[in-house]
Amino acid sequence: MASTDQIHVIVIPLMSQSHLIPMIDLSKILAKRGLIITIITTPLNAARYQATVDRAIRSGRLRIKLVPLPFPCNEAGLPEGCENLDSLPSPDLQTKFLVSSSLLQAPLESHLEKVDPRPSCIISSLPWTKDVAYKFNIPRFAYQGISCFTLLCSHKMMLHKVHENVKYDNEPFLVPDVPDKIEFTYAQLPKMMRTSSSHGDDGIDLKDIRHQFKQAEISAEGLLVNTFEELELDYVKSYQKVAMGNVLCVGALSLCNRMVKDYEEMTSIDEHYCLKWLDTMKPKSVIYVCFGSLCHLLPKQLIEIGKGLEASNSPFIWIIREVDYNEEIKKWVKNENFEDRLKGKGLIIKGWAPQVLILSHPATGGFMTHCGWNSTLEGVSAGVPMITWPMFAEQFYNEKLIVQVLKIGIRIGVEVTMQWGEEANDGIYVKRESVKDVVDQLMDEGEKGQERRRKAQELGERANQAVEEGGSSYMNITSFIEHVKQWCNLN
């Protein structure tokens, strides 16, 4: 009979922050449950996350390791060093990057032939990994880093083709057969959902890629989703029916960092100046503003955000990506004496910041977000209401969930996806007046504001309960382990 400590899981994330971060968190959770975990990625991604894995090993003597496999950028037609979606110099390369991940298949198979103990399972949604699982006769579970709400809405749209019948980009259409009345416009859909964009700029068929990923999900033994049942139960149940498979909600995965006290060992983060600054602020008074690692905003839009935050009635922490903090922004900050004017009111951080710690700090009372699913779940888990500013991919779906279904957020008002490299209106989507107004509205202590905050706090408590022993996500992890254990016993 196989025991848990003999199970060896191979985790193969898509090379993107949105997959690497939660799948490493999932790896830590599984390792904490006694499994042996090998995370397959490329050298630059391994170097980026090695310290995180090392801390996890030290915190609980976990059997988890990163294995970097060479990624031939030149052979893939990519510039050297492009091993992550956030390192691509142009959006035109995204589809080529997705397809090129298959170049890892041969070196992975060579590695698996020599690995000890023998692999028991693969977790990956990359289409070519189903062939690897078949070759080694091991089960494969797919991973989804989006919500069941998004999965269900996308499925119903594709099934009924309602989005293909609209005449205008801004014409609303109803998503059929979902638990709530949900409307989208064609302009809000991800690029891969748009029939007019069947091919990418590099000639690769986007519909074919979408089909390959869908088939990889359907052919898997089960699907692990980074959500928790209590967050979107009606959508979880509905998607389980249409998927006709083993759909297991295992999130919110980011909460594992508090469970293993990952951050407590990071002295440099504990002493991060933004946390010390938050310590000086009143409870629930600060708005946190961050748009993720891939969202690109032009200088004119950043200036509008800065002016709007300054004019608002709330103190704030504003994260600007290093790549966006260019010479034009530096010149504006200097000429306006902006940072000096903000003293005691606002804090600008260029580059990385400890988002989970900021969101869970008692002084943080709101989150302005691009609605990426990782950030959405981190906001939910921290129990803070949100201002939604979706930009691309499935982010408009997440906005609908936050604002319309969960009722824990306010829209900033954008209506179209922002295509990277194709920014409209000189790059300005939201004016400073709108930024000020929506911040003041979210942070308002009136009846509506209090109700939003109450619902957000309740969901935060449920998120934490879901990952604790006996919680829904904890039990779904148990079901996954038992499934793999049963396979090991039969083989």
Domain segments of the chain: what residues? Answer: 4-150+190-257+466-490, 267-464
d(CA 135, CA 205): 27
Residue 16 contacts residue 47 (beta carbons within 8 Å): no
Give the pLDDT band (50/70/90) at residue 390: very high
Residue corresponding to tokens 């691309």: 392
The pLDDT value given to residue 281:
96
d(CA 308, CA 421): 24
Residue 309 contacts residue 368 (beta carbons within 8 Å): no
The pLDDT value given to residue 204:
65
Under DSSP, the state recorded for 403 is I
Under DSSP, the state recorded for 220 is S
d(CA 124, CA 141): 6
d(CA 37, CA 62): 9
Cα angle for residues 368, 370, 376 (degrees, 5° grid): 80
The pLDDT value given to residue 2:
66
SS3 410: strand
Q: Where are the beta strands (DSSP E) in 45-180?
A: 64-68, 121-123, 140-144, 172-174
Give the pLDDT band (50/70/90) at residue 193: confident
Tokens for 212? 């390959």
Percent of the chain with pLDDT strictly greater than 90: 71
d(CA 28, CA 30): 5
Element (H, E) at 455: helix 447-467
Report for 260-274, 284-298, 416-430: range of highest mean pLDDT? 284-298
| Residues 6+ away with beta carbon under 8 Å from 85 | 15, 16, 17, 18, 94, 97, 294
Tokens for 51? 């310290």
**The architecture CATH gives domain 267-464:** 3-Layer(aba) Sandwich (3.40)
SS3 376: helix
| Residues 6+ away with beta carbon under 8 Å from 77 | 96, 100
d(CA 429, CA 444): 24
Report for 161-165, 186-190, 343-347, 478-482: range of highest mean pLDDT? 478-482
The pLDDT value given to residue 265:
42
* pLDDT, tens digit, 9 for 90 and up, residues 360-380: 999 999 999 999 999 999 999
Helices (H) and strands (E) in the chain, counts: 21, 15
Q: How far is CA 378 from CA 19, 226, 266, 363, 463, in A?
A: 14, 11, 19, 16, 10
The pLDDT value given to residue 413:
95
Residue 112 contacts residue 132 (beta carbons within 8 Å): yes
d(CA 276, CA 293): 24
Express the helix, strand and coil content of the chain in percent, nearest 5 each: 50, 15, 35
Q: What is the mean pLDDT of residues 112-134?
A: 95
Q: Does domain 4-150+190-257+466-490 have CATH number 3.40.50.2000?
A: yes
Residue (of 182, 183, 186, 189) closest to 234 by Cα position:
182
* pLDDT, tens digit, 9 for 90 and up, residues 406-452: 999 999 999 988 765 555 455 688 999 999 999 999 999 899 999 99
Helices (H), 173-284: 206-218, 233-243, 256-259, 267-270, 273-279
First to last CA, the chain: 10
Q: How far is CA 403 from CA 366, 388, 400, in A?
A: 14, 8, 5
Tokens for 417? 């996806």
Residue corresponding to tokens 């002016």: 307
Q: What is the mean pLDDT of residues 13-34?
A: 94
Q: How far is CA 372 from CA 61, 66, 293, in A?
A: 32, 25, 10
Tokens for 323? 């790549």
Tokens for 35? 């499994």
The pLDDT value given to residue 423:
53
Q: 4-150+190-257+466-490 and 267-464: same fold?
A: yes
